[in-house]
Structure 1
Amino acid sequence: MADDPDGGMLSWDESVFRDEHVFEIDYVPEAFRHRESQLQTLQYALQPAVRGNRPLNVMVRGPPGTGKTTAVQKLFAELGGQPGVRVVRVNCQVDSTRYGVFSRIFESIFEYEPPSSGISFKKLFGQVTERLIDDEEVLVVALDDVNYLFYENEASNTLYSLLRAHETHPGAKVGVVAISSDPDLDVIEDLDGRVQSVFRPEEAYFPVYDREEVADILGDRVRVGFRDGVLDMAVLDRVTELTTNTGDLRVGIDLLRRAGLHAESRASKTVELEDVEAVSEEARNLHLSRNLDALSDVERTLVDVVADHDGEQAGDVYDAFAERTDLGYTRYTEVVNKLDQLDLIDARYESLEGRGRSRTLTLVHDREAVKRRL
């Protein structure tokens, strides 16, 4: 074009993005589509907090990338602005112990972190509840990815402390929103009986988005996040197809961002199909990357060892693991069980001729993809 001497090339101070944050994981969209009934359930359960009463507890379930965290964040943004209500969202991938959960609650209330050692849980718990009573605040805690508390055998103790707070400290008012992305976890069934009797949550289930819903939501992100004319319908259709195939909306959102950055690396003013295809593998492995990022050093070491000994028996894998960590077999078994629950490895029992049964450990994901991300 005569008025475009660069032939569609970006200059140094240009971007295909209008607002790149629209494609970040913590972005809460103004328009939150196709989750009206789930939001109604959450609103119904949490409404008593606005009136100064203890809210109903809620169990939020559904596969990864179905809008669970976004729905809670959206509602918490409204609820947290109400006088006499304090909302705290805890990422249980990071804080997977009772002490860790209450440390995040403490930090929200007092605006500084408690000591990492030297203070008992009883004292930490007492300081939290006493401040809530003194300030006449209702506390609503969202345990995001609560399944990680189960993996560490911390769920029952954590929920018991939260739900029984009004008994140990009369006047404390606490409600819990438990968010689980593990379809194989029966949260209620796996809790201690003492917790089951007091949890009794409302349930909000978030199903996988269908293709039309994915197209609607990604279309909204494109309109808000990219400049006009950057990405055409054919490209959006391809991103929608790839996203629907994974069942995880976050893959599509991440794919849009990566495709935009790839277009910028070519100095292009438009995002083309070639940009989408170039970054599609990275986006498809988003869930793998996040699971690996949430692991401890020991857990990541075992994933690496399994990658090197894929398909071998658990005892042989342990020998290689022990050489690198000096940890005992009991701790090794705990880590194996956690990685199995996270679908990072498959720990399957098999019968061995004349030797009973043993577990064989195999990677669930492509070995090279795992190695790159480690």
Structure 2
Amino acid sequence: MNKDLLLWDQTIFRDEQYFELDYLPENLLHRDSQMRSVMFSVAPALRGATPLNVYCRGSPGTGKTSVVLKVFKELENTTQKVIPVYINCQVDSTRYAIFSQIFKKLFGYPPPSSGISFKKLFSQIAKHLVEKKKVLIVALDDVNYLMMSKEVNDVLYSLLRMHEVVPGTKVGVIAILSDLTLDMARDLDPQVQSVLLPEEVSFPKYSRSEIRDILSHRVKYGFYPNVVSDELLELVTQYTEETGDLRVGINVLKRAGLNAERRASKIVSREDVEKAYEGSRYIHLNYTVRNLKKEEKVLLKCIIDSGKYEMMSGELFECFKGNTGLGYTSFYEMVNRLEGLKLVNVDTTGKGTRGQSRLVSLKYDPKEVEKRLDI
């Protein structure tokens, strides 16, 4: 029997949960300052006072959700005075749906399925908070979905003005935003801005050394010893840095481990990692395309329909204008945004009629992009 081969009931995973994208580590590496900032903002709630509102801003996969969930876990373990409610705005994207989730957290059951008016739902939540002397903190994750659906002002206004309708209610909001082209301070109605006044907490992209440190920690506790070599960990770090999304690296490690087990191998090979990346790299694409505006999707479709991976900016603009009616300024801003989101490359060439032009090319396989456009 080959000692290098796994038996059918053996595994190279010590603890597979370390490679789940929703796993919340005991220690969040390289996010200490962000944790402290969020904790400082919610601290007044521990004393029964209204917390400061918070605005967590950063690219996808930079630890925003993990920090907020970690803070919420600390609150629930520390006090019963504070009710933290986490809302995924991709799932609950209307004011009524969000307040229904708050109701469910407060009372332990959802509001009547036959439906009650928003006014009554709002009133029951507020009265409960006052009677029980509780402070409510609502985290709105992926708040950009509320901004795109124009629900954000109604949601925030209802939460932050609750004390005016029912005196004594204390509510704080944590808004989590991954779309860096949006700005809550700029895009909200003035009457909402005047009551939100959030503490902004920035989440920069992880550096290469930070990425390696975090992935090394996952490897150490998720796999048995010597399953992933230092060389392969460096390769996964490189892939992760290129996409700018930590979730890609975590998923690559999981898939690579499963690939090795499929071969009944006790160690992960370079081929296992490379094959894993082909699937994992689309995590970033999935999330990013889903959050694009319709006009930005049209721009990508123009490149795809050209039958090429790339187009000169002038030719691309004509296609974009013909399909959207928008002018060059909007086009220029959208190309720059897509470049910033790492969906396209933009290279300056000398082929333009005025000496220089820009060549816009897709960073992903056109077929993979097209599958996700949904237009």
Which TM-score tier does this pair reach, normalised by the shorter chain? Answer: 0.7 to 0.9
Q: Which residue of 2 aligns with 1:356?
A: none
Q: Which residue of 1 aligns with 2:47?
A: 51
Q: Which residue of 1 aligns with 2:216?
A: 219
Q: Given residue 26 of structure 1, which amino acid in structure 2 is its aligned partner?
A: D
Q: Which residue of 1 aligns with 2:367?
A: 368
Aligned length: 332
Which is worse superposed, 255-264 or 103-112? 103-112
Query: CA 1:149 to 1:363, structure 2 compared with 1: closer, same or farther past 3 Å?
Result: farther
Q: For 1:115 and 1:294, locate their aligned partners in 2 and report how far apart those are by CA, in whole Å.
A: 32
8 A contact 2:243–2:284 mirrored in 1 = no
In the TM superposition, residue 289 of structure 1 has moved relative to its aligned partner by 2.5
8 A contact 2:211–2:241 mirrored in 1 = yes
Q: Which residue of 1 aligns with 2:349?
A: none
In the TM superposition, residue 287 of structure 1 has moved relative to its aligned partner by 2.1
Q: For 1:166 and 1:345, locate their aligned partners in 2 and report how far apart those are by CA, in whole Å.
A: 44
Q: Which residue of 1 aligns with 2:256?
A: 259
Give yes or no for the alignment of 1:78 onto 2:63.
Answer: no
Deviations 1:242-287 (A, max 9, x none): 1111111111111111111111111111111111101212211102
Query: CA 1:291 to 1:182, structure 2 compared with 1: closer, same or farther past 3 Å?
Result: closer
Query: CA 1:372 to 1:279, structure 2 compared with 1: closer, same or farther past 3 Å?
Result: farther
Q: RMSD in angstroms over aligned alpha carbons?
A: 3.0
What secondary structure is seen at the aligned counterpart in 2 of 1:49? helix
Q: Please give the residue correspondences for 1:141-152 in structure 2 after superposition, counting only pairs within 5 Å.
A: 141-152=138-149
8 A contact 1:93–1:148 mirrored in 2 = yes
Q: For 1:110 and 1:369, locate their aligned partners in 2 and report how far apart those are by CA, in whole Å.
A: 44
Q: Which residue of 1 aligns with 2:230?
A: 233
Give yes or no for the alignment of 1:186 onto 2:198.
Answer: no
Q: For 2:302 and 2:15, locate their aligned partners in 1 and report how far apart those are by CA, in whole Å.
A: 41
8 A contact 2:302–2:320 mirrored in 1 = no
Q: Which residue of 2 aligns with 1:67?
A: 63
Deviations 1:130-164 (A, max 9, x none): 22222211111111111111011111111111111
8 A contact 2:304–2:370 mirrored in 1 = no
So what's the TM-score if we normalise by structure 1? 0.80
Q: Which residue of 2 aligns with 1:42?
A: 38
8 A contact 2:299–2:320 mirrored in 1 = no
Unaligned runs of 5+ in 1: 319-336, 347-361
Residue 17 of structure 2: which of 11, 18, 21 is its match? 21
Q: For 2:54 and 2:11, locate their aligned partners in 1 and report how far apart those are by CA, in whole Å.
A: 42
Give yes or no for the alignment of 1:9 onto 2:8.
Answer: no
What secondary structure is seen at the aligned counterpart in 2 of 1:17? coil
Q: Given residue 33 of structure 2, which amino acid in structure 1 is its aligned partner?
A: S
Q: For 1:218 and 1:67, locate their aligned partners in 2 and report how far apart those are by CA, in whole Å.
A: 13
Unaligned runs of 5+ in 2: 307-315, 325-333, 345-360
Deviations 1:41-91 (A, max 9, x none): 111101111111110001110111111111111111001221211101101
Q: Which residue of 2 aligns with 1:163?
A: 160
Q: For 1:272 and 1:99, locate their aligned partners in 2 and report how far apart those are by CA, in whole Å.
A: 50
Q: Given residue 61 of structure 1, which amino acid in structure 2 is its aligned partner?
A: R
Give yes or no for the alignment of 1:268 onto 2:265.
Answer: yes
Q: Which residue of 2 aligns with 1:322?
A: none
Question: Percent of pairs identical after alignment?
Answer: 49
Query: CA 1:291 to 1:95, structure 2 compared with 1: closer, same or farther past 3 Å?
Result: farther
What secondary structure is seen at the aligned counterpart in 2 of 1:179? strand
Q: Please give the residue correspondences for 1:268-287 in structure 2 after superposition, counting only pairs within 5 Å.
A: 268-287=265-284
Q: For 1:223 and 1:269, locate their aligned partners in 2 and report how far apart those are by CA, in whole Å.
A: 15
Q: For 1:344 and 1:111, locate their aligned partners in 2 and report how far apart those are by CA, in whole Å.
A: 42
Q: Given residue 367 of structure 2, which amino acid in structure 1 is its aligned partner?
A: E
Q: Which residue of 1 aligns with 2:28?
A: 32
Query: CA 1:73 to 1:222, structure 2 compared with 1: closer, same or farther past 3 Å?
Result: same
Q: For 1:291 and 1:134, locate their aligned partners in 2 and report how far apart those are by CA, in whole Å.
A: 43
In the TM superposition, residue 363 of structure 1 has moved relative to its aligned partner by 8.2
In the TM superposition, residue 118 of structure 1 has moved relative to its aligned partner by 3.1
In the TM superposition, residue 294 of structure 1 has moved relative to its aligned partner by 8.3
What secondary structure is seen at the aligned counterpart in 2 of 1:189? helix
Query: CA 1:303 to 1:140, structure 2 compared with 1: closer, same or farther past 3 Å?
Result: farther
In the TM superposition, residue 204 of structure 1 has moved relative to its aligned partner by 0.7
Q: Please give the residue correspondences for 1:190-339 in structure 2 after superposition, counting only pairs within 5 Å.
A: 190-290=187-287
What secondary structure is seen at the aligned counterpart in 2 of 1:287? helix
Query: CA 1:116 to 1:291, structure 2 compared with 1: closer, same or farther past 3 Å?
Result: farther
Residue 133 of structure 2: which of 133, 136, 144 is its match? 136
Deviations 1:13-61 (A, max 9, x none): 1111111111112111112111111111111101111111110001110
Q: For 1:344 and 1:205, locate their aligned partners in 2 and report how far apart those are by CA, in whole Å.
A: 20
